[in-house]
Chains A and B, each alone.
Chain A
């Protein structure tokens, strides 16, 4: 199998800077096709930025972002929008269209990209909403939904067009235990049943490790480690061990970098 077929997404030597600050420095990530890949790391490590780089919503300062055999930053604006039709993203906030009800939100990609008859759109939307357990909510407006429900509607919308690549940005945040369990199973099920490639960006260790075939741990603008969940659990790297075991003490500081505590209290800054 060629590299293009084996990997749905490939980041080659990607550097991303905001002003003078470097968020990622020469990062290489390869997302195997048809698998669930987790991208984990502490809060503020740039996981969401990584997802936006993969969707070409951000352009890297250097390096290449290959998705389905296309180098996205090199594409023209209209080709880029065409390429995105094969990708689905579940945003952290859900990002539902607030002027449309639940049904119309899920139907939206079908309406703008296909000429399907209304009955078929209705069937597809109901199927997708049934999959996330919200078929009964079709007439509700987004502001009538809880945060977790919004995210599930957004997931139904993300899978409406049966994308080849599905990216989840912190899917487990704010979900109750029942929805969480359902979501974990659903991510795995969608991946296997539809043969799609799933990329889960999360800091929820147990849930992500339980469904991911492969994991990347990012931090300090680098890939700190990669491997199957079992390999990373057994890693000797102290930074990865600290993250995987959720320890407060270790090389990754809990505190954001700051001057000495005494100096701050004594007003020396």
Chain B
């Protein structure tokens, strides 16, 4: 490998920093233009409904199936640990808190990035490569309004709803394993859960997390698609980056949000 002088390394570092800041600036302008610039497109609502279907409804299967499995696994693990302390009746409370506070928003966001985020990036990237975005521009239709905005809103709306469904299905899966299979008393399973879950502390904080994740994941996905090189490699890079950046952003933000919401300082 070629040896780089110190000055060259400093210059490279500076170049990278400028590129990152410029990229963030472009991504922010892109978001502001798509969401807040004046003038809409006709039929905007039907465009949103179509995207809600492809981004939200089509992600439902993976979310529901994962929710059942994760709820079941939580139940099995929780039961085996809690049984050592004779408090297996508290398994309902443990499942509900884990799902509502953490796993619901986080796992849904990760699955959403893989299922819908990558599809959004690839679809938009392909539209760019085949000049469909250029052609929209020349027809006098702003692609940021016609293509990007409905996808952004669809992601913002779908992910929190999917996260809520994930938690509900997870709790149901957990109760099925704990109550019907492991023999935990049904009354104490649900009563413990009801007594320990607070609406503001647990449910609302979980919802806030999923709203933040929805915003970040969808923004990353559509921006990566819109900004990609219009080639096969460019689209492939955009989809990979979407999943990698979105997953890291979700996990990093989850740590920060958890520290702010539940941290003891």
Contacts and interface: CB of A to CB of B under 8 A. Distances in A.
Interface of A: 52, 55, 57, 77-78, 81-85, 87-89, 91-93, 95-98, 108-109, 111-113, 154, 157, 161
B92 to A, nearest CB: 46
Most chain A CB atoms below 10 A, which of B39, B131, B146:
B131
Given A77-B37, A112-B43, A91 B135 contact: yes
10 contacts: A55-B137, A87-B138, A88-B138, A95-B134, A95-B135, A97-B135, A109-B140, A112-B140, A113-B140, A161-B139
B33 interface: yes
B135 A77 contact: no
Contacts of B132: 95-98
Interface residues of B, number: 19
A112 B141 contact: yes
A144 B131 CA distance: 18
Contact of A93 (B38, B131, B139, B142): B131
Q: Give chain B's interface secondary structure class.
A: loop
Given A95-B134, A97-B132, A98-B132, 18 more contacts: A52-B134, A77-B37, A78-B142, A81-B39, A81-B140, A81-B142, A87-B138, A87-B140, A88-B138, A89-B135, A89-B138, A91-B131, A93-B131, A95-B135, A109-B139, A112-B139, A112-B140, A161-B139
A108 B139 CA distance: 9
A77 B130 contact: no
Interface in B121-163: 130-132, 134-135, 137-142, 146
B42 interface: yes
Given A98-B130, A111-B42, A112-B43, A81 B135 contact: no
